Structure 1
Amino acid sequence: MTVAPGTQIPPASFNYIPHSKDSESIQACGIPISLNAHEEWKGKRVVVISVPGAFTPTCHANHLPPFVAKASEIHDKGADVIAFLSSNDPFVLSAWAKSAGVKDNSIIFISDGNAEWSKQLGLDVDLTSKGMGMRSSRYALIIDDLKLSYVAQEEPGKLQVSSADAILANL
């Protein structure tokens, strides 16, 4: 069962590597830190964009670039946080952010290892047949003070309801 607007998000602790001047090089690994969603996102408007995998064709070429280009516009429309979520580890997500030219924390890249949080939301996908295991599906959330105000899961092969333009239209 997929969560619906009005539902409070389940507790979560995500690992991520925040941008820093010391780790701007693609060769620099950085140090993962933990983000407690209920503590960090309380009282905030948060956009979560979930993708099946960093560096995968649709995610890398079509999904992420418009968010990088429109991050300021999304923040100006009221988003306190933009978070890209994937089942990849935080080191891969940090490299993905760097490769996409994200040079600040306007977008954070959070790891949902084993798609545990996505599974609680009913938004995980089994990609075992493609050698990728359990993953988060492609979806978008807008969270207002820990409650979902927008929940949209993409149909396989589509990129519409979780696009930057869809988020801008729903903020």
Structure 2
Amino acid sequence: MTIKAGESVPQGEFAYVPWSPELEDAMVCGSPVKYSTDAWKGKKVVVVSVVGAFTGTCHGQIPAYKQLINKFKESNVDVVAIVNANDPFVNSGWARVQGLKGEIIVLSDTASKWTKELGLDVDLTAVGLGVRTGRWALVLNDLKVTALEVEPHPAKVTVTAAEEVLKKL
């Protein structure tokens, strides 16, 4: 069953590599740390899920979030997080290529466990990608869903585009 507006998200744990100036050196990998949905208690959060780092549609979706990060902050958003099924090292590399520098965090839900609990996972085994996180966006307020948008066509960015998510705030 898919999570709905008004419901609280399940507890989830992710891994990510926090940005630091040392990561400006492409030969530095950083160290993954744990990150929990507990960090979102009492906060307004936008969670954007993409199928994978460095994939055509996903790679093109993120720059608008970076470009509009101040608009999200003006709308009292405390955290903008990207979640996908890639490992934290791939996500760290992708975040660096995207120039996110910690303004937006990229979280690894490597087994899509949390995403499955939300009812928002997609099985892309037929195309060699396994079970993934899908393309959707959640707006949370103190862990409660205030808005959920799921892309009707996985290869397009419409309802999960940064400009559209801003309208939900």
Deviating 4+ runs (over 6 angstroms) = none
1:3 matches 2:3: yes
SS in 2 for 1:52: coil
Paired residue for 1:139? Answer: 136
In the aligned structure 2, how far is the partner of 1:3 from the partner of 1:152? 11
Quote the RMSD (CA, aligned, Å): 0.9
1:149 matches 2:146: yes
1:45 matches 2:44: yes
In the aligned structure 2, how far is the partner of 1:121 from the partner of 1:25? 36
Aligned length: 168
The one-letter code sitting in structure 2 at the alignment partner of 1:164 is: A
Q: TM-score, normalization: structure 1?
A: 0.95
**Structure 2 unpaired stretches of 5+:** none
Identity percentage over the alignment?
42
Give the stretch that moved more between structures: 154-163 or 89-98.
Answer: 154-163
SS in 2 for 1:114: coil
Does structure 1 retain, via aligned residues, the 8 Å contact 2:122–2:134? yes
Does structure 1 retain, via aligned residues, the 8 Å contact 2:57–2:156? no
The one-letter code sitting in structure 1 at the alignment partner of 2:105 is: I
Paired residue for 2:53? Answer: 54
Q: TM-score, normalization: structure 2?
A: 0.96
In the aligned structure 1, how far is the partner of 2:168 from the partner of 2:27? 37
Give the stretch that moved more between structures: 5-14 or 70-79.
Answer: 70-79
The one-letter code sitting in structure 2 at the alignment partner of 1:74 is: F
The one-letter code sitting in structure 1 at the alignment partner of 2:115 is: S
Q: Per-residue deviation at 1:114?
A: 1.2
In the aligned structure 1, how far is the partner of 2:135 from the partner of 2:16? 19
Give the stretch that moved more between structures: 21-30 or 42-51.
Answer: 21-30
**Structure 1 unpaired stretches of 5+:** none
In the aligned structure 2, how far is the partner of 1:26 from the partner of 1:100? 13
Q: Per-residue deviation at 1:12?
A: 0.6
Does structure 2 retain, via aligned residues, the 8 Å contact 1:26–1:99? no
